[in-house]
Amino acid sequence: MYVAPKYINREISWLDFNARVLQEANDNNVPLIERLRFLGIFSNNLDEFFQVRYATVKRIAQSSKTGKKVFAGRSATVLLKEITAKVIKLQSESLEILNGIYQEMEAENIFFIDHNEVQKEQEAFLKNYFIQNVNPALVTIILSNTQNQDLTDNKAFLVVTMEIEEEGGPPIYALIEIPKNTKRFIVLPKKSDGKQYIMMLDDLIRYHFHMIFSFFNYKKIQAHMVKITRDAELDLEEDVSISYVEKITMSVKDRMISDPVRLVYDNEIPEETLRFVMDKLNIDSTDGLIPGGKYHQRRDYMDFPSLDRPDLLYSSIPKLPIPGLSLEENILDAIAKKDYLLYAPYQDFSYVIKFLREAALDPTVKSIKITIYRLSKASHIVSALINAAKNGKKVLVQIELQARFDEKNNINFAEKLEAAGVRLIFGIPGLKVHSKICIIERIQQNKNKRYGFVSTGNFNESTAKIYTDYTLFTANQKILKEVNKVFNFLEVSYKLKKYKHLIVSPHYSASILSKLIDQEIENKKNGLPSGISLKLNNITNYPLVDKLYEASQAGVKIKMMVRGICCLVPGVKGLSENITVLSVVDKFLEHPRVLIFENGGEKKIYLSSADFMTRNIENR
Catalytic positions: 434
Pairing of β 437-444 and β 423-425:
unpaired
185-194 burial: b if 16+ Cβ within 10 Å, else e: bbebeeeeee
Q: How far apart are CA 532 and CA 548, in angstroms?
A: 9
Residue 461 in contact with residue 353, Cβ under 8 Å? yes
Q: How far apart are CA 95 and CA 502, in angstroms?
A: 47
Residue 487 in contact with residue 590, Cβ under 8 Å? no
CA distance to 148, 485, 508, 620, per residue, from 500 (Å):
60, 11, 11, 19
Residue 252 in contact with residue 234, Cβ under 8 Å? yes
Q: How far apart are CA 192 and CA 358, in angstroms?
A: 52
Q: Where are the alpha helices (DSSP H) in 298-366?
A: 331-337, 350-361
3-state secondary structure of 307: coil
CA distance to 22, 190, 198, 557, 616, per residue, from 562 (Å):
17, 44, 38, 16, 16
Helix (H) / strand (E) element for 447: namely: strand 447-455
3-state secondary structure of 612: strand
3-state secondary structure of 479: helix
Contacts of 156 (CB under 8 A, 6+ apart): 177, 178, 225, 226, 227, 296, 297
Q: How far apart are CA 468 and CA 520, in angstroms?
A: 28
Q: Which of 529, 540, 542, 548 lies closest to 595, judged by CA?
A: 548
Using CB atoms within 10 Å of the CB of residue 80, give its burial: 0 to 12 exposed, 13 to 18 middle, 19+ buried.
Answer: buried
Q: For the chain, what's the residue count?
A: 620
Contacts of 185 (CB under 8 A, 6+ apart): 198, 199, 200, 201, 300, 304, 305
Query: Is-cis flag, bond preceding 345, omega within 30?
Result: yes
